[in-house]
Amino acid sequence: MRIAVLDAGPDQLKLINQTMVGLGHECHLYTEGRTLLQALRRQTFDLLILDWSLPDMAGPDVVKTIRQELKSRLPILFVTDRRDEANMVEGLNAGADDFMAKPIRAGELEARIKALLRRSYPAQHESELVFGPYHFYPPSRVLKVRGAPVELKNREYELALFLFQNLGRLLSREHLHEAVWGLGIEALSRSLDTHISRLRTKLDLRPANGFLLLAIYGLGYRLETIESDALPKTSTR
């Protein structure tokens, strides 16, 4: 998962980063609310962890901007030294999904992150995923379309699965690169566009099959459903 962390304290940033990286997530660190908000206008993340007290604006105001102005449903966890019930209520009313008091305990942070991600992305925890005529079997890395297996290279499969797991969600180019190629690869090469083009052809992503893979200029890609009966269903057979 791609996680953004907003905290003015270097020690807190280091601890959260170490915990998230230890869980296998990609972590992006910010120390000011406005810098994070600027990033959110051109990038996407799977989850945000933020502090209440920031040098340029209050944490609840950051959350309100994300919810009301950016119209984002990004899962948000407050990690703060504010302990009063009134603060917790204010943070949740601003749009946060969970609230955790400092000092940070790595085990509790790990448990809360895992629970929040399970609630926010249930399709990523199934052994079989069904999206209209597209059937994914993640344990065996198999994809069938109308019952026929489709031959995909490793990264093509990973990209296809990630797009369907995030159906209807705009994914930035940076987000897609990190999810499929990881960090340390030359970012924003033509490789992503090439893989997208191949998937459109191999999976026949067109309205007749209930899905359309859209390029959002300057931002990234979004896989959308076209027909109401093509909404995702999950199974554990």
- Identify residue 82 by its one-letter amino acid code: R
pLDDT of residue 237: 42
Q: Under a CB-based contact definition with an 8 Å cutoff, are residues 135 and 144 in contact?
A: yes
pLDDT of residue 183: 65
Please return the burial class of 173, using the count of CB atoms within 10 Å of its CB with bins 0-12, 13-18 and 19+.
buried
Q: Which pTM does this prediction carry?
A: 0.77
Amino acid at 220: G
Looking at the chain, which residues constitute the CATH 1.10.10.10 domain(s)?
Answer: 125-235
pLDDT greater than 60 at residue 233:
no
State the pLDDT at residue 118.
Answer: 86
pLDDT value at residue 224: 93
What letter does residue 90 receive in the DSSP assignment?
H
- Alpha-carbon distance of 176 to 191, in angstroms, equals 11
- Note the pLDDT tens digit of each residue in 129-167: 999 899 999 888 999 999 999 999 999 999 999 999 999
Query: Residue 35: is its pLDDT beyond 80?
Result: yes
Which of 67-71, 86-90, 100-104, 125-129 shows the lowest per-residue confidence on average (mean pLDDT)?
125-129
Instruction: List, by residue range, all CATH 3.40.50.2300 domains of the chain.
Output: 2-120
pLDDT classification of 184: cutoffs 50, 70, 90: low
pLDDT in tens, 169-178: 999 999 999 8
Backbone angles phi, psi at 116, to 5 degrees: -65, -40
Residue 187 has pLDDT above 90, yes or no: no
Q: What percent of the chain has pLDDT over 70?
A: 91
Is residue 231 very low, low, confident or very high in pLDDT (cuts 50, 70, 90)? very low
pLDDT at 126 over 50: yes
**70: helix, coil or strand?**
coil
Mean pLDDT over each residue of the chain, to the nearest integer? 88
The CATH class of 125-235 is mainly alpha
At 163 the pLDDT is 95
Instruction: Please tell me the predicted confidence (pLDDT) of residue 236.
Output: 41
Q: Topology of 2-120 in CATH?
A: Rossmann fold (3.40.50)
- Cβ contact 89:56 at 8 Å: no
